[in-house]
Amino acid sequence: MTPPPWYREAKHKAPRLCENQTYPYNFRMGEFCPGSLDRFLKRHAASGSTLWEPFAGHTSLNQTIDICAGFGVRLVAHDISPIDERVVQADSTRVGPGLPINGVIFHPPYYGAGCVFSDQEGELSSEEDLDSYLAAINRCIDRVDEVMEEGYIYLVARTYPVKGKSFSLDWVLTNEFLSRGYEFEEALCDTPDWIVYLSKSA
Ligand SMILES: C[S@@+](CC[C@H](N)C(=O)[O-])C[C@H]1O[C@@H](n2cnc3c(N)ncnc32)[C@H](O)[C@@H]1O
């Protein structure tokens, strides 16, 4: 598969923030680079705005809450697993945030990557096949579109092998947002993940 032009461009220009940023994090544990969230919120988040994180557990939650709080941003956190009292237990492909939002932290579970988060019904990493996984992810993006007329997306995804073939969830999801009228803003390399900023105008 040939990478789309925006991805090839981004690859040359992508700041590798995580090599010299000051927040501690452990990408091996599935955390994303907090410096990139800080950079994103500096650019986009007005104090008093609301972000939805539809896949908010299991590892980066404390950092995400702290960083959002530092910007005066309210975080509505959902996860299908019971996490703690700060997270609403919900299937984010079916239940949206229930209020207007200004942005989304979109860090979905990966299908076929050997990591299943729980045995909850609706857990995306254990979908039957890639097509049903992608259909479910698209339903979650529908939930975003229902409540966000204008706003921004902070997407974390990677290219990784599924059943021996390279699968580019990073391009697939970015292209899905682009096809829904979002604009590509920036991509940061957080090896092996890519962090992609997108925005949507009214
Ligand atoms: C990549 S992980 C978590 C991302 C989070 N930023 C972190 O680093 O902890 C994906 C999360 O999605 C949750 N999840 C899976 N299927 C879901 C669904 N249908 N609705 C809501 N959460 C789901 C899993 O329980 C898991 O906590």
Out of 80, 104, 141, mutate this one to test ligand 1's pocket (max ligand atoms within 8 Å of CB): namely 80
Residue pair 28/68 in contact (Cβ under 8 Å)? The answer is no
Q: How far apart are CA 144 and CA 148, in angstroms?
A: 6
What CATH architecture applies to the domain 5-200?
A: 3-Layer(aba) Sandwich (3.40)
Residue 7 C-alpha to ligand 1 middle, in angstroms? 25
pTM for the full predicted model: 0.92
Is the CB of 21 inside a 6 Å radius of any atom of ligand 1? no
Side-chain half-sphere exposure of 194, counting CA atoms within 13 A: 23
- pLDDT for res 47: 87
Q: Are strands 193-200 and 183-190 parallel, antiparallel or unpaired?
A: antiparallel
Task: Give ∠ CA 10-14-17 in degrees, rounded to 5.
Answer: 155
Is the CB of 112 inside a 6 Å radius of any atom of ligand 1? no
- pLDDT for res 131: 97
Is the CB of 75 inside a 6 Å radius of any atom of ligand 1? no
- pLDDT for res 7: 80
- pLDDT for res 112: 92
Least Cα distance to 73 among 53, 48, 54 occurs for: 48
Write b or e for each residue in 133-144: b if 16 or more Cβ atoms lie within 10 A of its Cβ, otherwise e: bbebbeebbebb
- pLDDT for res 166: 92
Domain ranges of the chain: 5-200
- pLDDT for res 46: 87
Mean pLDDT by 10 residues, the chain (202 residues): 77 62 53 75 90 90 89 96 95 97 95 90 95 98 96 93 93 95 86 86 92
Examine residue 192 and say whether the peptide bond preceding it is cis (omega within 30 degrees of 0).
yes
